[in-house]
């Protein structure tokens, strides 16, 4: 975790990150490059277990830029936490992944998870997926800021899509 973030609480860390991420992506129109840097920045700032994107491709989510251990490459629509967030078009917060029916365990070390859909022109085009080894690591504060972060990336006028 970056030293500067160790004295901040969760909200302060997100508030500090948000303008930095906006600046980081502002000059780059390539969505993959921006997803890669956003995943890295979040992962470093919070010390999550796994932080990354899955991109919608046909009827599946396909693994995109991420930080952390290797992960499953394809997730069908409606499957797992990621496929559920895609299907619902809304954020899914899972305090205990072992209690989530259909959870896809890419790593046995993960105990809680948040998945935020990335929406462009009313369509889910990707999801931001974050896993923690802690139970109940994610709450409405994470949801509030991660939804903002996920969606600064893919404004239609800015991004080349994928």
Name the residue nearer to ligand SME (CB basis): 16 or 107: 107
As given in the structure block, the two tokens for residue 110 are: 């993960």
Applying CB under 6 A, which of residues 31, 80, 111, 153 lies at the interface with ligand SME?
80
In the complex with ligand SME, the residue whose CB is nearer, 31 or 39, is: 39
- CA atoms of 109 and 157, how far apart (whole Å): 39
71 binds ligand SME (CB under 6 A): yes
- When asked if residue 31 is in the footprint of ligand SME (CB under 6 A), the reply is no
Please report whether residue 131 would count as binding ligand SME according to CB under 6 A: yes
> CB 148 → ligand SME: shortest distance, Å?
22
**Residues for the chain: how many in total?**
162
117 binding ligand SME? (CB under 6 A):
no
Least Cβ distance, residue 5 to ligand SME (angstroms): 23
Token pair recorded at residue 73: 């490459």
Task: Decide: is 65 part of the binding site for ligand SME (CB under 6 A).
Answer: no
Check binding of 50 to ligand SME (CB under 6 A). Answer: yes
Contact call for residue 103 and ligand SME (CB under 6 A): yes
Using Cβ positions, the residue closest to ligand SME within the complex turns out to be 80
Residues at the site binding ligand SME, with contacts judged by CB under 6 A: 50, 71-72, 75, 80-83, 103-104, 106, 110, 113, 129, 131
């Amino acid at each position: 975790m970056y030293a500067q973030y160790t004295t901040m609480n969760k909200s302060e860390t997100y508030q500090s990150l948000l303008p930095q991420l906006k600046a980081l992506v502002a000059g780059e129109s390539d969505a993959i490059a921006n997803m890669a840097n956003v995943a890295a920045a979040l992962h470093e700032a919070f010390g999550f277990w796994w932080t990354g994107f899955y991109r919608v491709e046909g009827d599946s989510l396909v693994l995109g830029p991420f930080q952390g251990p290797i992960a499953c490459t394809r997730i069908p629509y409606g499957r797992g936490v990621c496929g559920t967030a895609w299907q619902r078009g809304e954020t899914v917060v899972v305090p205990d992944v072992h209690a989530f029916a259909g959870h896809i365990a890419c790593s046995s070390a993960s105990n809680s998870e948040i998945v935020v859909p990335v929406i462009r022109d009313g369509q889910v085009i990707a999801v931001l997926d974050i896993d923690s080894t802690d139970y109940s690591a994610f709450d409405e504060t994470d949801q509030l800021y991660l939804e903002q972060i996920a969606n600064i990336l893919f404004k239609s006028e800015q991004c080349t899509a994928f």
